[in-house]
Amino acid sequence: MRRKEFDEARKRLMARRQELVTVIQGGDAGIAEIRAEREIEFGDEAQSEEEQERIARIGEAESAELARVDTALARLDAGSYGTCAACGDPIEPRRLEASPYAVQCAACAGATPKRP
């Protein structure tokens, strides 16, 4: 990968990281909002199981994505970004474009069969 591509990838990842951190940190505020909404709709009825689950899941997907962003940033720092972690071949630029935290090439990730 060229220097410019690294810089662009880092910029994208840092921007996404900031978004995710904002969502995760806003999670508590989100929960308070749901509770307030529910009080208006249902008074002081006990929370349903479904609702408890919904609250528990806030930020779950974002936390998982944040871990992937951090992994990609660590690989950028180590200079291994854009290189397949499994076979060492360069990861297809199109693949990185679609999934900036890909750590394997399409073949190793099983997306397409590898040509001999």
Among 13, 102, 103, 105, binds Zn ion (CB under 5 A): 105
Name which of residues 67 to 96 contact Zn ion (CB under 5 A): 84, 86-87
In whole angstroms, give the CA distance from residue 63 to residue 23. 9
**Pick 20 or 105: Cβ nearer Zn ion:** 105
**Pick 43 or 110: Cβ nearer Zn ion:** 110
Q: How far is the CB of 84 from Zn ion (least distance, A)?
A: 3
For tokens 């180590």, name the residue.
78
In whole angstroms, give the CA distance from residue 99 to residue 105. 11
Burial class (CB in 10 A: 0-12, 13-18, 19+), 50: exposed
Catalog residues that contact Zn ion under the rule CB under 5 A.
Answer: 84, 86-87, 105, 108
